[in-house]
Structure 1
Amino acid sequence: MAVHAVRLGVPQVKGKAVAATVAGRVAVAHVVGLRLAEGLMKRKPGKWTHAVQRMALVACIACGCAGSAFAAVTMLDGTPTTMQSNTERMISLRHQEHMWETSDGATHVIVNRGELTAGDSLQLYSTFDHGLTWVAGPRLSYSDRYSTSDGYLAGDILYLTHATPAGAIRFTRLQYVPGSGTWSQLSSELAYFGGDRAVAINPAMAVDALGTIWIAFVATDTATGNNYIKMLRSTTVPRVWADTGFVFGAVDNASIERSARPVATATGIGMVYTVHEKIYWASRENSWKPSTAWKRQQLFSSTASDNDPYASHFSVAADAARNIHMAISDGGRVGYFRFDAPSRVWSVKWLSNDINAGYIQTTVIDGSVVVAANYNSDVLVFRSVDGGGSFEVSHALVHPDPPSPEVSYQYPRIETTATTNGPMLLLQQYVDSDVQRLLLFNVPLP
């Protein structure tokens, strides 16, 4: 394993106390890990064995992980892919879904390629060999370097929504032919356009058991500058989109910092949404009238003063029983929230102390719950085999040795599918000579 990988694994503890659950062995491990890492940095590649380097990195990881087992950490190197972009929004934002696995085992991802395409920047890529090669597919019309997308897969149809340069929201359906690797566009339509009254960004969507599609997005009133979260619904074919009339969270121009993610529950539809430093949960039952107000509650309030422009520090996935699993980052920590479908109660636990986490992904893998989060510029994989009851750090994803001066992992965005049968493919964004690229990790889970 690369010397560079160990160097990047050294945590920035910033003088904070280590969690009591690991304080005993971690205090010693931290000193040993730092000394090993410092020694490794002075050596050339190949001078140290994988076992020694693993010891150093695991010792450093131990300092940052609260209440998570870490003794069996497997280190994995990443492999550069051919996908490229010239926009930082190559894979964004964290609350949106950009990656899916089809019934034939292929994996597909929406990438924003910026101006590297002749217009229509959002493009679908597919891999049929677990990430060794990627094939370019359809592009989404009315998209540019600032567009962000979201989608869900139902059978062989991929439903997508994205914001346009004009501040509108579009809805697109793509048809996939398993085994052939081919995609075709079934439809693309305007779901929302505020004209000169409002600009929309960052949509996300879900479908409930009745087939109603819900799209939530952030809107800005052009006259007042006020920002707020709106929601659309559509129940008919051909689709007719209707404004629900509901606004979620505060309406103000203090900051645009907010985002929303609908998710189907066992009996209706719910939505995680953030406004400034607060995370909320709203839900409704399928039996309710469209005019019935959603039930709402606050889940969390941050005191970390994170400076994210869209408050997108969360990632949501649901399992087959419609339990909802959510990961957040707050003050560099990784948090895990679980919505129990029978009791409809949320619970929370912290998986780490401050490890400089800002980019997280939640994945359900054959019954296991997996949370991936950046650890400085590397990535840690937290795995639970008991439905979120307890977690262990199963893998540390590190970089090839060593990067050239033109390579930077400064903003370690990551992407996974919300559900997979395994292995778990994880993409991490990095910069190489001013070109945005994606590094692939093939994580052998479950």
Structure 2
Amino acid sequence: MILPQELIRQKRDGGALDPDAIKAFVAGFDNERVTDAQVAAFAMAVFFRGMEPAETVALTEAMRDSGEVLDWSGLDRPVVDKHSTGGIGDNVSLMLAPIVAACGAAVPMISGRGLGHTGGTLDKLESIPGYDVRPDNDIVRRTVQEVGCAIIGQTGRLAPADKRFYAIRDVTATVESIPLITASILSKKLAAGLGGLVLDVKTGSGAFMTKEGDARALAESLVAVANGAGLKTTALLTRMDEALASAAGNAVEVRNAVRFLTGAHRDAAVEEVTLALAAEMLVLAGLAADAVAARAAAARALGDGSSAETFGRMVSALGGPGDFVERMDDHLPKAPIVGAVTAEAAGSVAAVDARALGLAVVELGGGRTRPQDGIDHAVGLSDLARIGTRLERGDPLGVVHARSEDGFARAAAILRSAYRLAEEPIPAPASAVVARFG
């Protein structure tokens, strides 16, 4: 077996690593044969030298095999999932899972929490009283079998090597490495025992990858490595130049999602991205012949109420209220101070700093700066003005939901500074979906 320091030396000097050596190195995470210092040195070497696709596949598979790999054999539904690289107002998972489930797929969607300026699906779902984001395996399996979907958190048994590796990368300035991001994302998805995966890679001011070229490189890497590891995968590149939904926060995004599912209100960009991802998932699952037929099936499930019903059944099965969809406002927490932030001059919305909107949510207490931080589920932003909207002086840029007057004032200042208005008319963005990979 190659010594850890020799493997680090090889990568430091630009060499390609043998897949078996990579797997032995990751296996050493568990028994401390590989130290934190060596993991950090390896991460830095990869950061500067990169990895060939075969190396990234080996790293991904090794982290997958460091823990439990879920087995969905016996289900009478094809198993598919989606992963988003995260953004502002990205509540797509809340609608997508029940839509695809209502079309006949099984969607065991393993999601994460928010950190920094981006929101987390688990935090949103914990706005719902009683909803258990970490149920035991029997409940998860029963929910997926009977309802069709379960949106839950990662257990400690799935890809534990990735958890240690990421914690070290987080404090050694080695997070922004495409091979390491790829392996981190896909090791958990491979451990989930999926038959197909669709990736939503965001680009724009509110995305992790703000530059389109970087986002394209990540999408290409994710698709190549996932398929190289035997998981059928496609990816969409989507815009995050403003909040995706017209709400950003936790309870406010859940409320937005339920209104979407019931047809009370649908943000156009959310609908475009959700149906495009649903179509990809249904084709991968073999439930539709092509994207056109798949999109039509997803639209029917949305329009006939079956997706809203599926969402309600999932909430109930995972411990939430049985009448959540029908009585959402009775169950979701509400902030005590709610008020509009208005435009100080007339103009058309020309640009939005989406990252600033996410930071406004954090400022209100609805996000984290450290993983261990608690959050306020009630606070956030809603009714956000979209790019291209014409506003008169005094018209609302958005609505702030705050716990205190001081919090409201700070968030309002951030919200106002995030918007740039122009005197001339500004066209709305042509499409939220930029490109497809795979």
TM-score normalised over the length of structure 2: 0.25
TM-score normalised over the length of structure 1: 0.25
Structure having the larger proportion of residues in helix: 2
